[in-house]
Structure 1
Amino acid sequence: MLREKVATEIFRDAGLAASHTAFYTVYVDHGDGPVYFGLYTLVEEVDDTVLDTQFSDDDGNLYKPDGDAASFAAGTYDEDEYVKKNNEDEADFSDVESLLAILHDGSRTSDPATWRSNLEEILDTDVFLKYLAVNTIIQNWDTYGRMTHNYFLYNNPDTDKLTWIPWDNNEALQTGNQQGSLPLNFSGLSSSSWPLIGYLYADEVYKAKYDAYVAEVISGPFSTSIVQAKYSAYSALVEPYATTELNGYTFLNNGGDFQSAVNTLMSHATSRANAVSSYLNN
């Protein structure tokens, strides 16, 4: 519950577009009075108010890739998997098609400066690299780099570039499943399987930008004191509800489980600061 809220706040605090969230106790009335349905974290829809409030123009193509094409690996182009969330009647996928073509162009190794210039005409690489820094620091396995889902691409009319928007962060702030979250240096990552990470990190200019964003995020939005203060505030807010949840609406076995989970998050913040320090000083 806290993971989704804190993760999206870290993204926004870093200057990235991301959903707002809030905690709600939900009741449903079928005509015989309200019936309790549990404590939830509600997440703002990207294809609604996120575009309306965090971009000056909401008319660009918005994609929610899902499936092999979401990896942007060579040969995976599939319009059915670049799921459009708006402009559905316009069969224009030229932006994501261009991204795939440029990403795998031979100039990446023969003429990196030209490759970067062409890539930056279609993808907001600064946004992606900052997202990558945040996502890797906080540890978030259920998205690009491990899984072919849980992000949006918005063709921002102000820049004519595809802009990365994170989504579904409830598995963040932990090592996670599916081989776990990616290490800060992406060791073990298959660049051909996840080229947006592998190819950009292998480029010395983009790696330097990524490293700078890592340093910026750990000293600002994800500094230990800031993130632990968020955990303290939000855990105090929801604890009275979470620890008295009705049977069938909770994953807690007893009241102590809640504080134990909060303590784990607190320790995670400290361990990530240590991991970043080790990475940057290596």
Structure 2
Amino acid sequence: MKKISLFTTTLLLLIFAACRDENLVTEVEEEEEEEQEIVDMTDYSDWDDATHSSAATLNYDMVFNQSEVLRFDITIDSDDWTSMQSNLSSILSSGSSRPGESLDFDDPSFYPCSFKFNDTEWYHVGIRYKGNSSLQSTYRSGLKKFSFKLDFDEFEDDYPAIKNQRFYGFKQLNLKNNYLDASEMREKVGADLFRQFGLASPQTAFCVVYVDYGSGPQYYGVYTIVEEVDDSVIKTQFADGSGNLYKPDGDAASFASGSYDTSEMELKTNEDSANYSDVRALYDIINSSERTSDVEAWKTKLEAVFNVDVFLKYLAANNIIQNWDTYGLMTHNYYLYNNPDNSMLTWIPWDNNEAFQTGKNGGALSLGMSEVSSSWPLIKYIIAQPEYEAIYEGYLQQFIDEVFVPADIISTYSTYYDLIKEYVYAEVSGYSFLSNDSQFDSAVETLKTHVQTRNNLVESYLN
């Protein structure tokens, strides 16, 4: 056996001691980091079960107050605000798109904020920017009036005291910026009309937003509060809210032949058990050759997986009010909910800020939709069936008879005008899509003319 020299032995002992000391330093540093993570100096004195607890009943009368403009105050630490801007810049600084076209990018990150309403605080609320084309356009125009998403328990792992924090029962809310809507009311009116017509659609209300990131509250203008579909819409507007909820976005949202892609079928519920068999079944059936070889068998299979009646009802309402930024022209802005009551995918409309106008990229769809190609099979193949076309036309008549009634809608526009006028007039440059007050006045008058024009057009189309 070879002997180990005194020099070698000494060297090994020194190396061992150095490694031991380094490990000790690392352990001390990790312990210090853990101690820093658990320090929470927040005063939670505003916490109350009726306002903050997940056990509280959803308070629609408070959160979606129809007779007042609510005020929300958001305060963000200056360092978090800087990080929030850097995060947004890094996401949107590359790539480009045409108006209304979606880009494939990750959602901006959440940051903690203090959220106040009626002098009551909600703590460490997650806030992030939201949107796609509207987010890009607002950013690149240099405006600050962004849309926000709020998540009231986003940071519960960091702050256990806010576990399951809610805002009058709501976990998430959207503060939508009324992008390119001089009337500031299209988002609200569109969602309300769909719901009045018996379709699942979010609740909405008007609010104003102030943001303080170190220099005092800055007025961000008039926003529309929009209910989150996967938070409370499917729980309150369906008998069973446990089904799969999808938010398609991208080519796959068209359901055109060859477009199927699960990565573009964002699953908002039941993520851990996802197999996408329901949306796959709809894709396979809508593009099946049985549509021409055995149409009755095709319709039977289609109606087993897709609520065709709801879709036809939606098409009627959507085409009358004119909404160019949705299916048939754009591959986004709708949800599909697999209703456990009947195992059928059910259409839920989303994003109405650019409705009630002819629109861009060739304009909104015509009432007859004859211009729609096979690139949009849910319209093209369904409306080609005489039985379905007759149902659709019946819904056209019903919508103008019962919901989109000129006298009623014009009265609604006047009520909302009076409600939000002073807040719209108070918007300031850099935080508004308006150049002057008269743009708001003119936009509301245009909406009043629009409802009568569309009613006349429907009557002419049907007769």
Structure 1 length normalisation: TM-score? 0.96
Q: What does residue 346 of structure 2 align with?
A: 163
Residue 396 (structure 2) pairs with residue 214 (structure 1)? yes
Report the counterpart of residue 236 of structure 1 in structure 2. 418
- Calculate the TM-score normalised by the size of structure 2: 0.59
- Given the alignment of the two structures, is residue 95 of structure 1 paired with residue 273 of structure 2, yes or no? no
Amino acid at match of 1:277: E
Following superposition of structure 1 onto structure 2, how do residues 127-206 of structure 1 map, counting pairs within 5 Å?
127-190=310-373, 192-206=374-388
| Aligned residue in 2 for 1:59 | 242
Partner of 1:267: 449
Q: Does residue 1:277 correspond to 2:462, yes or no?
A: no
For residues 8 and 225 of structure 1, the distance between their equivalents in structure 2, rounded to whole angstroms, comes to 19
SS at match of 2:338: strand
The structural deviation recorded for 1:35 is 3.0
In 2, Cα distance between equivalents of 1:64 and 1:55:
17
Rounded Cα–Cα distance in structure 2 between residues aligned with 1:251 and 1:78 = 36
Cα shift at 1:32: 5.9
CA contact (8 A) 2:307 2:345 kept: yes
Q: CA deviation at 1:31?
A: 5.9
Output the amino acid matched with 2:421.
E
Deviation at 1:28, TM superposition (A): 2.3
Q: Give the CA deviation at 1:11.
A: 0.2
Higher gyration radius (CA):
2
Q: Which amino acid aligns with 2:461?
A: Y
Question: 2:438 matched to 1:251?
Answer: no
Which stretch of the first structure deviates more once superposed, 24-33 or 222-231?
24-33
Unaligned 5+ runs, structure 2: 1-183
List, as ranges, runs of 4+ consecutive aligned residues in structure 1 with deviation greater than 6 Å.
Answer: none
CA distance in 2, matches of 1:249, 1:29: 14
Moved more, 250-259 or 127-136: 250-259
The 2-side partners of 1:29 and 1:41 are apart by 20
Cα RMSD over matched residues?
Answer: 1.2
Unaligned runs of 5+ in 1: none
Structure showing greater relative contact order (alpha-carbon pairs closer than 8 Å, 6 or more residues apart): 1
Partner of 1:21: 204
Identity %: 56
Which whole-Å CA distance do the structure 2 matches of 1:200 and 1:166 have between them?
18
Deviation of residue 109 (structure 1)? 1.9
Instruction: State which drifts further: 111-120 or 263-272.
Output: 111-120
Return the letter of the residue paired with 2:262.
E
Counterpart check, 1:227 vs 2:413: no
Give secondary structure in 1 for the equivalent of 2:241: coil
Deviations 1:130-166 (CA, angstroms, capped at 9, x unpaired)? 0010000100010100000000000011111000000
Q: 2:220, 2:427 within 8 Å by CA — same for their partners in 1?
A: no
Structure 1, 139-148 or 49-58: larger mean CA deviation: 49-58
Distance 2:351 2:197 in 1: 17
